[in-house]
Amino acid sequence: MNISYTIEQQKGKIARKTTTPLLEDEQSMNRYDEVLVALRRIIRATDLHSKQLSKVSGLTSPQLLILQTLRHHGELTVGDVARKVSLSQATVTTIIDRLEKRDFVRRERGSTDKRKVYVHLTELAQQALLDAPKPLQDSFVQQFQDLRDWEQTMILTSLERVAHMMDAQHIDASPVLDLGQLDRTDSGNH
């Protein structure tokens, strides 16, 4: 009887050993699936918000960010705007060109230094800003700032690691939650 009990014990140990790695693989597979789903949700939320913003205000997220920056700081040069919104000067110039065609901004030479050109909001832009929904990053930033320092660091480190895993660490990006080219043409608003 001792022999059969020992054999049954051994069979149980073997069965547990062979099933444990499978469970770990299944858990691991579920974890990476969950990460991919979370990434997809972030992309989808960004896409939906961008479409909502465009539908309601006719603006892209980068355009709204530039208009808000101008409202907050008053007159700025294109270079100043680019630094404040963390976009290249070329991208900001293209966006401001489009905003100027739509009569949201105007450019004026400086009164004391004629070499400098300042960008100003128009009344139309002021009204568009009143009617526009808040950019997605505004809500995110508020909630992120409410987190403890260690939580912020953990999120930042994890996302930087994900960017590295996706070979995206060298891609230039700005803190604008939007999809596609930042200086893209608005549909119907060329």
End-to-end CA distance of the chain: 87
Q: How many residues are recorded in the chain?
A: 190
So what CATH class is 2-165? mainly alpha
Q: pLDDT averaged over the chain?
A: 81
In tens, the pLDDT along 8-42 reads: 555 555 555 555 555 555 555 688 889 889 999 98
- Is the pTM here over 0.75, yes or no? no
Q: What is the pLDDT confidence band of residue 150, given thresholds at 50, 70 and 90?
A: very high
Q: Which of residues 184 and 41 earns the better pLDDT score? A: 41
- Pairwise CA distance, residues 129 & 54, whole Å: 13
Q: What is the pLDDT confidence band of residue 188, given thresholds at 50, 70 and 90?
A: very low
For the chain, the structural domain boundaries read 2-165
Of the candidates 156, 158, 139, the one whose C-alpha atom is nearest the C-alpha of residue 148 is 156
